[in-house]
Structure formats: C-alpha cells, structure tokens
C-alpha cells in the first residue's frame, strides 16, 4: 500500500489538519508552517488546508506525530467531495448530529440508545448508521 504522505514530494497536494483542542491545533499549524512551504486556508476555527507543491514528508510526520489532531493528505486536483460520511461528529463539534436530527423528528430516545451502543463498541459503524 502506498504511503499517503509520499504525495507531498511528487504532486501538488493538500494537507488538511483538523483538531478538537485549540492548543494542539495551534501547535500543529505552527509546526506545519515551519516544516513546509505552503499556503494556508482556514476551514473553520480548528481546521485548515495547507496547499503544498512539495516538501519533506518525514518533517510533516514528525511535526504532527505527538499532537491530538487528525490530518489527511490528498492530491489538490479533484479533492473537493460532495458528501462525507463519518461517525466522528461529537469528536469535532461535541454534538451527536444524528441524535439532534432524531430529536427534531421526535425519536431522540431511540436513536440516542443506538448511538450509546455504538460508542460502547456493541455495533459496527455501518450497522449503527443504518439502524439510526
């Protein structure tokens, strides 16, 4: 399997960094900017894209390894997506979005129970998503 970080040194790439902790996120931004020549675009208070034309992948790995942030590397061309399905909303925004939508629909108690079962590891992602 190809190492996603190898993309940094071969083609125009976007490094996306997302954090839940403001201090860790600020450290990540500082470290990435020190390790790479890049242009940063903010995506929100704790998320940014770094547009990179090349760089040292090992420096980026080392810069982010000990921080509580998530990051993704992808080619700049064609990276915009129309839909993202991820079961990490409470990690990023501290709210279970499906539970809130269920509240609007009048079934929050039932959906929240499924969410809790999934958080305890009793249901796999796909099963929990389908059941909710």
Q: Which of 53, 56, 70, 87 is catalytic?
A: 87
CB neighbours of 113 closer than 8 A, spacing ≥ 6? none
| Catalytic status, residue 103 | no
Catalytic residue among 53, 56, 70, 89: 89
Is 87 marked active-site? Answer: yes
Distances (CA, A) of 90 to 3, 123, 130: 28, 17, 18
DSSP strand pairing (13-19 vs 38-44):
unpaired
Residue 39 has φ and ψ, to the nearest 5°, of -110, 125
**Measured distance CA(67)–CA(31) in Å, rounded:** 10
Q: Which residues are catalytic?
A: 87, 89
């Amino acid at each position: 399997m190809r190492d996603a970080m190898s993309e940094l040194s071969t083609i125009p790439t976007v490094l996306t960094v997302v954090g839940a902790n403001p201090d860790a996120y600020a450290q990540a931004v500082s470290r990435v900017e020190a390790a790479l020549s890049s242009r940063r675009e903010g995506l929100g208070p704790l998320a940014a894209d770094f547009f990179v034309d090349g760089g040292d992948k090992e420096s980026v790995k080392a810069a982010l390894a000990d921080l509580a942030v998530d990051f993704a590397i992808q080619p700049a061309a064609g990276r915009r997506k129309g839909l993202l399905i991820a079961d990490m909303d409470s990690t990023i925004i501290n709210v279970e979005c499906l539970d809130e939508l269920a509240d609007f629909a009048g079934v929050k108690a039932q959906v929240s129970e499924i969410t809790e079962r999934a958080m305890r590891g009793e249901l796999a992602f796909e099963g929990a998503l389908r059941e909710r």
